[in-house]
Amino acid sequence: PRERGRRTRYLYLFQGFWCQPAEIQAITFLQNHFEAKDSDVVVATIPKSGTTWLKGLTFAIANRNKFSPSSKNHPLILSNPHHLVPFFEYTVYGSHHDQLEEEEAPPDPRLFGTHLPFHAMSSSIKTSGCKIIYICRNPFDTFVSSWIFIDKIKPKSLPSLTLEEAFDMYCKGIIGFGPSWDHMLRYWNESKERPNKVLFLKYEDLKEDTNNHLKRIAQFLGCPFSLEEEERGEIESIIKLCSFKNMKELEVNKTGTFGRNFENKYLFRKAEIGDWVNHLSPSMVERLSKIIDEKFAGSGLSFKASP
């Protein structure tokens, strides 16, 4: 089925999730051709839940022996994280392919990003030893962040989607790579069944205790921080390098572009927890709370900063 918010681009229901036609092509190619290596790392996220941040942190942690996090020439100062950790569906197999900086095989560990639901990944990602780091965020903030972002990057010829229209679609599961609850629950369940395969993170927790989460990520990737690294302030340097304040102010993120569609600056808005209170009406909060209670019942998955 095809669904169109009266004023947005078409989304298609494909393999149980909503996406755009250009993405379908890339996803099919990924499913048929991508061969994961045991050393690969996939940063998987639902859009607007901290993808840019987690890509930056993962790149900095995995490559800290190659690039000192305190270096003035660190790749994360010169490039946007989406360049360094390319999306399967946009860059590696998608229409932004020309954004890849080098054509030769990337060095190990290869880092990739994706918004794909777990079930839609290529089978070698699921069966190989490759690791997946997943992040999501409370659905109220994720929705608000998405609505504002989509409005900024949509073609100028299309009028804006009202908050009410976008919210109604979101509640029906109609959002890129949604339904969002199915996306989160599947990765959540995988992380419970295979904790060495999937590391499940939440934006709110990452913000609250970034230091401890960096240790968890490094441990999960098989490159834990040594005592000596900790004493030298390596973790703090990575936190600073990837902080919202730092990234937002970098020249590459103020003026650069990602693909042909949007400017990097739109990736950095407020980075606050609970901003939904400034946008959603009491009846919206009630409707989404009910959906979340139903969908996540019995799963053990809950979110801070939800009503």
Closest separation in Å from C-beta 60 to ligand A3P:
11
- Minimum Å distance from CB 142 to ligand A3P? 8
Q: How far apart are CA 20 and CA 181, in angstroms?
A: 19
Pair 197, 132: CB distance under 8 Å: yes
The catalytically annotated residue of 74, 82, 115, 183 is: 115
Sign of torsion over alpha carbons 132, 305, 50, 246: negative
Cα–Cα separations (whole angstroms), residue 184 to 16, 47, 180, 227, 263:
14, 11, 6, 34, 27
Residue 144 CA, chain-centre distance (Å), reads: 15
Q: Which residues contact 3 (CB under 8 A, 6 or more apart)?
A: 10, 11, 12, 13, 18, 169, 174
Q: Residue 162 or 243: which CB sits closer to ligand A3P?
A: 243
Question: How far apart are alpha carbons 25 and 21 in whole angstroms?
Answer: 7
CB closer to ligand A3P out of 12 and 244: 244
Say if CB 260 and CB 91 are below 8 A apart: no
Which residues sit at the interface with ligand A3P, rule CB under 6 A?
45, 47-53, 141, 145, 242-244, 247, 267-271, 275
Q: In this complex, which beta carbon is closest to ligand A3P, that of residue 124 or of residue 259?
A: 259
Kindly state the smallest distance separating residue 121's Cβ from ligand A3P, in Å.
18
Say which amino acid occupies 244.
F
The first and second tokens of residue 18, run together, are: 């909503």
Residue among 126 and 269 whose Cβ is closer to ligand A3P: 269
Q: Select 39 or 151, whichever has its Cβ closest to ligand A3P.
A: 151
Least Cβ distance, residue 302 to ligand A3P (angstroms): 19
- DSSP state for residue 9 in the 8-state scheme: -
CB 234 within 8 A of CB 64: yes
Distance between first and last Cα of the chain: 33
- Kindly report the backbone phi and psi dihedral angles of residue 197, in degrees, each rounded to the nearest multiple of 5, phi listed first: -95, -45
Note if 115 is an active site residue: yes
Output the smallest distance, CB 173 to ligand A3P, in A. Answer: 19
Nearer to ligand A3P, 145 or 191 (CB): 145
Residue 95 CB, nearest approach to ligand A3P (Å):
18
Q: Active-site residues: which are they?
A: 115
